[in-house]
Amino acid sequence: MDSVVTHDLIFPYLLRKVTEKAALASYNWIGRGNKIGGDSDAVVAMRASLEELKINGTIVIGEGEKDEAPQLYNGEVFGNKDASDQLDIAVDPLEGTTFLADGQTNAMAVIATAPKGTMFDPAPAFYMEKFAAPAETRGKIDMDWPIDKKLLTVAKLIEKDIENLTVFVLDKPRHRSLIEEINHAGARVALYPAGDIAGA
**Could you report the per-residue pLDDT of 176-194, keeping only the tens digit for each?**
999 999 999 999 999 998 8
How far is it, in rounded angstroms, from Cα 72 to Cα 104? 25
CA-to-CA dists, residue 130 to 26, 29, 47, 80, 126, angstroms: 27, 30, 27, 33, 12
For residue range 103-158, what is the model confidence (pLDDT) as tens digits? Answer: 999 999 999 999 999 998 887 777 788 899 999 999 999 999 999 999 999 999 99
Three-state SS for 164? helix
How far is it, in rounded angstroms, from Cα 200 to Cα 39? 21
pLDDT cut 70: percent of the chain above it? 92
How far is it, in rounded angstroms, from Cα 155 to Cα 150? 9
How far is it, in rounded angstroms, from Cα 17 to Cα 164? 36
Domain regions of the chain by residue span: 11-115, 135-195
| Residues 38/200/74/77 CA torsion (nearest 10 deg) | 90
Helix 147-157 and helix 176-185, axial crossing angle in degrees, nearest 10: 50
How far is it, in rounded angstroms, from Cα 89 to Cα 113? 5
How far is it, in rounded angstroms, from Cα 45 to Cα 83? 22
- Determine the pLDDT at residue 3: 55
- Determine the pLDDT at residue 167: 97
Superfamily of segment(s) 11-115: Fructose-1,6-Bisphosphatase, subunit A, domain 1 (3.30.540.10)
Which of 1-15, 38-52, 77-91 is the most confident on average? 38-52
Question: Is the pLDDT at 9 greater than 80, yes or no?
Answer: no
In this predicted model, which residue has the larger pLDDT, 195 or 175?
Answer: 175
Q: Does domain 135-195 have CATH number 3.40.50.300?
A: no
For residue range 51-82, what is the model confidence (pLDDT) as tens digits? Answer: 888 889 999 999 865 556 678 988 899 888 88
In this predicted model, which residue has the larger pLDDT, 119 or 7?
Answer: 119
Which of 5-9, 26-30, 70-74 is the most confident on average? 26-30
**Over the chain, what is the mean pLDDT?**
90
